[in-house]
Amino acid sequence: MREETTRWLTARTWTHADWTVPELLRAKSELGSRISVVIPARDEEATVGDVVAGIRRELIDAADADHGAALVDELVVIDSHSRDQTAEVARAAGAQVHAVGAIRPDLGEHPGKGEALWKSLFVTTGDLLVFVDADLRLWGPHFVTGLLGPLLAESSVQLVKGFYDRVLDHGDGEPSVEGGRVTELVARPVLDLWWPELAGVIQPLAGEWAARRPLMESIEVPTGYGVEIAALIDTHAAHGLEAIGQVDLGARAHEHQKDHDLAVMAAELLAVARSRCDEDPGVRGGALHQFTRETGWRERPVPLVQRPPAGPLRRALPTSEEAR
């Protein structure tokens, strides 16, 4: 791993337990910050209610009752063309719900998660934005507090990614922590080879992340699943590694998509990455850095040598002297 990445890992990796709610409330009040939690949701009636209710209970109601102020000022669900009862369930659990198509219709409409996050910028008022997926099965309000910690503690941090064990559970056997298939098979290899400074970001696609509003309002947002990798690459390009942090949030389980659907996501990520290369950048990193809690970081060389076409070499056989 590059030296600057190793230094970044030490300086910019935290755990959610580094901050308590009272500490965050104090920092928030000193800074005069306003916090919006945004949950993009498409057909998530089975899980969105639990996510909204958990954040509302712990970070709005309990924080207010126990410490005299809510940590989260706005809890917003962006309903991304759901065909089920997502909007109703989210509203009943205590979220403000906006149909994505009803937000600034003059700006047109696209399907996708990135579109939901981009449109959320027009209906929220927080200077700190926390994004949380709606399909979580294993999670907790510490996802939100953990992501807020670095933004409230370090003025140079602009974007914070969550990382966690990725529980893979298809319901047909023992769950493993080998989830995050697109993360491991596409996103991390792409970053390691072409943006090696970002090789220390353990979950570049984490749907749980936080950012300052000026950053979010300054970057281009792909309308689909490319939103996370684009935000990471663009934040790094504009503000450097120091502006990025990551926080250990423990473990996360979510609804799994099928391989063929994840392949579309993978294609979106590749297109976004390609669009961020002005010209062929050449491979910049030669190894893949993989992280597991059990083994820590492991460096895997990526075989990158290419042999020239063999035809001309076969035709020009070496002299017996050269062959020796």
The site for ligand UPG (CB under 6 A) is made up of 40-42, 44, 80, 111-113, 116, 133-135, 205, 207, 225, 228, 254-255, 257, 265
136-138 vs 159-167, strand pairing mode: unpaired
**272 near ligand 3PG (CB under 6 A):** no
Using alpha carbons, list the distances in angstroms from residue 120 to 39, 102, 103: 9, 11, 8
Using alpha carbons, list the distances in angstroms from residue 79 to 68, 91, 196: 31, 11, 35
Residue with smaller CB distance to ligand 3PG, 138 or 153: 138
Residue with smaller CB distance to ligand UPG, 162 or 200: 162
For ligand 3PG, the binding residue among 98, 166, 236, 289 (CB under 6 A) is 166
Residue with smaller CB distance to ligand UPG, 71 or 230: 230
Of ligand UPG, ligand 3PG, none, which one sits near residue 168, judging by CB under 5 to 8 A according to partner kind?
A: ligand 3PG
**Residues 286, 299: Cα–Cα separation, whole Å:** 10
Residue with smaller CB distance to ligand 3PG, 14 or 225: 225
Helices (H), 56-174: 63-67, 86-93, 113-120, 142-153
Contacts of 175 (CB under 8 A, 6+ apart): 167, 168, 169, 253
Contacts of 264 (CB under 8 A, 6+ apart): 225
**285 near ligand 3PG (CB under 6 A):** no
Of ligand UPG, ligand 3PG, none, which one sits near residue 179, judging by CB under 5 to 8 A according to partner kind?
A: ligand 3PG
Residue with smaller CB distance to ligand UPG, 21 or 202: 202
User: Is 316 exposed, middle or buried (CB count within 10 Å of its CB: 0-12, 13-18, 19+)?
Assistant: exposed
Residue with smaller CB distance to ligand 3PG, 69 or 168: 168
For ligand 3PG, the binding residue among 262, 267, 287, 288 (CB under 6 A) is 262
193-212 positions binding ligand 3PG, by CB under 6 A: 205
CB of 254 to ligand UPG, least distance (A): 5
Q: 227, 187 in Cβ contact below 8 A?
A: no
Which residue bears the tokens 């500490």? Answer: 23
**Residues 118, 100: Cα–Cα separation, whole Å:** 10
Closest CA to 25 of 63, 74, 75, 81: 63
For ligand 3PG, the binding residue among 47, 86, 158, 183 (CB under 6 A) is 183
**177 near ligand 3PG (CB under 6 A):** no
41-100 positions binding ligand 3PG, by CB under 6 A: none
Binding site for ligand 3PG (CB under 6 A): 166, 168, 179-183, 205, 256-257, 262
